[in-house]
Amino acid sequence: MTAAERRERQRAERHQLIITAARELAEAEGWEAVTTRKLADRVEYSQPVLYGHFANMEAIRDAVAVECIAEMAEQLHEARQAAPESDAIRAVCTAYLDYAAAHPAAYQAMFTLPTKVKFAHAETPAPLRQAFNEFVSAFGPYNDRNAALAELIWGSLHGMAVLLKSGRIPEDAQRQRLDLLITLFAKAPA
Amino acid sequence: MTAAERRERQRAERHQLIITAARELAEAEGWEAVTTRKLADRVEYSQPVLYGHFANMEAIRDAVAVECIAEMAEQLHEARQAAPESDAIRAVCTAYLDYAAAHPAAYQAMFTLPTKVKFAHAETPAPLRQAFNEFVSAFGPYNDRNAALAELIWGSLHGMAVLLKSGRIPEDAQRQRLDLLITLFAKAPA
DNA sequence: ACAAGATTCTAGCACTGCTAGATTTTGAGG
DNA sequence: CCTCAAAATCTAGCAGTGCTAGAATCTTGT
C-alpha cells in the first residue's frame, strides 16, 4: 500500500502548493488577480485540478486566510512572550498592527474579504482561536471578562488597521491612538 | 433653456433611480446579485446607460454606501439628541449596532465590501464626516482626544457588528459587551 | 420639415468560475 | 512483459460577468 500512501502524500503537497501559490499571487498582484486560470498556470496544472482540492475559489482564499492567521498567531505569541508581563497588551497590539501592515493581502483575506471562516463559533478553526487567546492572555487568565476585553480591543485594532491603510493616518497619530487604546483597556475598572 | 434644465433634472432622477434600485436589489438578494444586467433590467434601461452615470459597478455600490451612511448618520444624530447627555455614548453606540443589524446589505456596502470611499481623509464625503462627528459629540467638544476616542469606539463597534453577524453571539452577551465597552470609554482617564 | 446632435440600444469582446466528457497515465493481475 | 480497468488529468465549452464600439433612434433648434 506504499503506492497509495505516496499518492496521498503527493496530493497533500499539491494542496499546499495551491495555497502557497494563491497567497504569493495575491501578495504580488492583489486578490482580484487570483483567478482560476492564473492560479492553475502557476501550479502547472489545469483548472479542474483546483476543484479536486477545493470546492471553489472562495475556499482557496479561506485556506490562505487560515494559514495566515496561524502565522499571525505565532507572531502574537512570540511578541507576548518576549515582553514583560506588564507590557503584554502593548506587545500583542503592536504585533497585530505590524502584521496587518506587513501583509496587506493576507490581512485582507483574513478580515475584510467575504469569507466562510467562522468567528467565535463552534467551527472556529484552531489558529483563529489561538490568535484570540493571545489577546485574552495579555489581559490575564481566561474568563468571560478577559475574553470580552480581548474581543473589544481586537475590534478597535481592526478599525485602526483599516483606517491606517485606507485613510493613511500619520505615523505619530497612529502611535498616540494606540497609547490611548492601551490606557483605556489596561486601566479597565474591575 | 427650460428643455436643457428638464433634461438635467430627469438625468438626476435617473441617477437616483439607479442608486435606489441597486440598494433594493442588494437588500433583497445580496450584493453578488447586483449585476449590470439585472440592475439595467430593473431601471428599465440598457446596460450602457448605467455607465453614463457611473464609472463602473463599484462606483454604484459606493454611491449606495454613501447614501446609507447619510441615513445612518441621521439616526445616530436623532438617538443622541433624544438621550440625556450622560447617556449620549450609549445612545449612539446602540443606534449604530441597530442600524448594522437592520440593514445588513447597507452595512456591507459601507464597511466590509471593497470600496473607494475615503475614510479620515481630505476627500471623505460629508455624510461619513457627520456620522463620525456624532461619535465625537457623544464624548464632548471636538478635539484630538475626543476624535481619537470616537475612532477607537467606532472600531470596536464594527468588530462587534461583524461578530454579531458572522459568529452569532447570544443577545445578552452582546448587551454585556456593550456595557463593558461603554464603561471603558466613558471612564476614560483624562 | 429637416438635419445636427444627443440619447439609447444591439451586439459583442474579453474575462470570470466552474464542469462534462475525452484523453492520458498508472499500476495490478495474468 | 503485456493488458486493461480505474484513477488522474486535460481539452473544450457553458453560462455568466463588467464593459464598450458602433448602429439606430429620438429630440430639438432652425
The partner residue sitting opposite A120, judged by closest CB among B118, B167, B183, is B167
Task: List pLDDT tens digits, range B102-147.
Answer: 999 999 999 989 899 988 888 899 999 999 999 999 999 999 999 9
Task: List pLDDT tens digits, range B48-62.
Answer: 999 999 999 999 999
Residue A119: predicted pLDDT? 83
Q: Do domains A1-54 and A66-190 have the same CATH topology?
A: no
Residue B168: predicted pLDDT? 57
Q: Is the pLDDT of residue B72 over 70?
A: yes
The pLDDT of B82-90, averaged and rounded, is 96
Q: From the Cβ of B29, is strand D under 7 Å away?
A: no
- Going by C-alpha positions, the residue among A59, A69, A61, A63 that lies closest to residue A96 is A69
Residues near B18 by Cβ (< 8 Å), separated by ≥ 6?
A: B39, B43, B50, B53, B54, B60
Residue B190: predicted pLDDT? 63
Which nucleotide is nearest, taking the CA of residue A3 and each C1'? Answer: C27
Q: Is the pLDDT of residue B170 over 90?
A: no
Residue A148: predicted pLDDT? 92
Q: Is the pLDDT of residue B167 over 70?
A: no
> Which of A 118-147 lie inside 8 A of B, CB atoms?
118-121, 124, 145
| Residues of chain A with confidence (pLDDT) below 50 | none
Residue A71: predicted pLDDT? 98
CATH of domain A66-190: 1.10.357.10
Q: Is the pLDDT of residue B37 over 90?
A: yes
Q: From the Cβ of A49, is strand D under 7 Å away?
A: yes
- Phi and psi, residue A64, nearest 5°: -60, -45
Residue B1: predicted pLDDT? 53
**How far is A28 from B127, CA to CA, in rounded Å?**
35
Residue A174: predicted pLDDT? 86
Q: Which residue of A has its CA nearest to B153?
A: A156
Q: From the Cβ of B47, is strand C under 7 Å away?
A: yes
Helix H, strand E, coil C: the string for chain A is CHHHHHHHHHHHHHHHHHHHHHHHHHHHHCHHHCCHHHHHHHHCCCHHHHHHHCCCHHHHHHHHHHHHHHHHHHHHHHHHHHCCHHHHHHHHHHHHHHHHHHCHHHHHHHHCCCCCCCCCCCCCCHHHHHHHHHHHHHHCCCCHHHHHHHHHHHHHHHHHHHHHHHCCCCHHHHHHHHHHHHHHHHCCCC
Which residue is closest to D20 in terms of CA–C1' distance? B48
Fold designation for A1-54 = Arc Repressor Mutant, subunit A (1.10.10)
Q: Kindly report the average pLDDT of chain B as a whole number.
A: 92
Q: From the Cβ of B22, is strand D under 7 Å away?
A: no
The pLDDT of B178-189, averaged and rounded, is 88
B152 in contact with chain A, both atoms CB, cutoff 8 A = yes
Task: List pLDDT tens digits, range A82-131.
Answer: 999 999 999 999 999 999 999 999 999 999 898 899 888 888 999 999 99
The pLDDT of B63-81, averaged and rounded, is 98
Q: Could you tell me the CATH superfamily of domain B62-190?
A: Tetracycline Repressor, domain 2 (1.10.357.10)
- Phi and psi, residue B188, nearest 5°: -55, 125
Domain boundaries defined on chain B: 1-54, 62-190
